[in-house]
Homo-oligomer: A and B are copies of this chain.
Amino acid sequence: MKYSKFFGKTQKEVPKDVLIRSHEYLVRGGFINQVAAGLYDFLPLGFLVLSKLDRIIKEELSKKGVQHLLMPFVHPASLWKETGRYDKIDVLLKFTSARGTDCVLAPTHEETVTDLARKYLKTYKDLPVILNQNQWKYRDEMRATGGLLRTREFLMQDAYSFDCNDVGLDENFKKMSEAYHAIFERIGLDVTVVKADSGTMGGSDSEEFMVLADAGEDKILICDKCDYGMNLEKAEGMSDGDLCTECGKGNFKIVNAIEAGHVFKLGTCYAESMKAYFVDEDGSSKPVIMGCYGIGISRLVASIAEVSNDENGLIWPKNVAPFQINLLSLGKESEVLEKAEELYGELVGEGFEVLYDDRDESAGKKFADSDLIGIPVRLIVSKRSLEAKSVELKYRSGGDAMMIAFDDLSGVLQKFFK
């Protein structure tokens, strides 16, 4: 892609309601645009990041045998009345359709997936199964701040497991937990797993995957020795400086964090209230045992941006970067422009994702934009580099610029991205 033709260029102005770095850089870099409080456009750069996260998450879940489906975001209120959550969830947006039926905009999908379960999971032979969707949801938040960290509309990965018994639930819970670790590793995001209360979701066992960040709205208690952690609801009665209840050696400290993922053992609460029963091997009728598992995908964009940046801009991990390579031509000499164009064609031909800054702009402006956008590899073609039959390569994550001979470039890039 040529940056001259790219939609959503960088901007210098910091939007006035911006309080945190990820928000500033995502807006200034041209990743997102605010439509209204808590409602964002994902511009081409942001949509590329979001799409990669979406794909990686689905791939890792598929490896665990998870099946993908899609439920609607408008639900009949009747389903939510069955579980009693229609009157309990304050961010639930309610409306009456033209058909005269009460509806809600879904902030989560336990009700609809349990409705599916009672319809399709008839006997033990249909179990176990894990269903997943990556789906947009809506929370009618009063406050919506921090860019993509807390929005009204947001993309969630939400999976639901169904089992005959607790052993099965434990296995699926473990499977999903493993998938989550694989996802966070692949997208280059450090997470800390803490014990949690399951809150309005109901159920028993619950863990959160937290990203430690000052901008996080959640507070967690972590041991400074063994890394054991809890969210504050779970840690009731404990506080900063207390002796760790797990290792007995370290002390708990309270830190800010962003909730990136959450796994719950729901048990039979939804199945019982919505009568999702299956016939077991012995012929008896039992409520199906459920778990639920969620990652805030659009929030991940901000989470990564919040912990992976410097004073000049974003630093995308290579698997989620909008492009792999940011190619810059410096100067107006025809041999520079021709070589840059040629190199762009070659790199794209080799399968690399390249954003080619072909604009007639100063070196300073191109460097600043490249740093702000944060693509992992920056390549420069200039008069100086041509004299050395080379291209200048610099990793956004750090290190000095290096001159790489044209003949060696492909090998260097393939090694880095393999």
Residues of A within 8 A of B (CB): 1, 4-9, 33, 35-37, 39-44, 46-47, 50-51, 65, 67-76, 79, 91, 93, 95, 97-99, 101, 103, 105, 112, 115-116, 119-120, 125-126, 129, 131, 136, 138, 140-142, 144, 152-153
- The answer to whether B74 and A138 have CB atoms under 8 Å apart is yes
A142 cross-chain contacts in B, Cβ below 8 A: 98-99
Note all chain B residues with C-beta closer than 8 A to A5: 65, 129
Separation of A120 and B101 alpha carbons in the complex (Å): 40
**Contact: B43 with A74, CB < 8 Å?**
no
Residues of the B chain whose Cβ atoms lie less than 8 Å from the Cβ of A72: 35, 39-41, 153
Chain B contacts for A99, CB-based, 8 A? 37, 141-142, 144
Cα-based distance from A141 to B142 in the complex (angstroms): 29
Q: With contacts A7-B69, A37-B101, A98-B142 known, what are 17 further pairs, Cβ within 8 A? A: A4-B125, A5-B129, A7-B120, A7-B131, A9-B126, A37-B99, A41-B71, A42-B69, A43-B69, A44-B69, A51-B68, A73-B153, A74-B138, A93-B95, A97-B140, A105-B105, A136-B136
**Which residues does chain B contribute within 8 Å of A40, judged by CB atoms?**
72
A112 pairs with B35, CB closer than 8 A: yes
Find out whether the CB atom of B65 lies under 8 angstroms from the CB atom of A98.
no
Chain B proximity of A236: nearest CB distance (Å): 29
Among B9, B37, B65, B70, contact of A120 (Cβ-Cβ < 8 Å): B9
Given A42-B69, A70-B42, A97-B93: A35 in contact with B75 (beta carbons within 8 A): yes
Residues of B near A4 (CB, < 8 A) are 125
Which single residue of chain B is at the shortest CB-CB distance from A39?
A: B72
Task: Identify the closest chain B residue to A109 (Cβ).
Answer: B41
**Least CB distance, A369 to chain B, in whole angstroms:** 15
Selected contact of A119 from candidates B33, B71, B74, B98, CB within 8 Å: B33
Q: Which residue of B lies closest to A133 (CB)?
A: B47
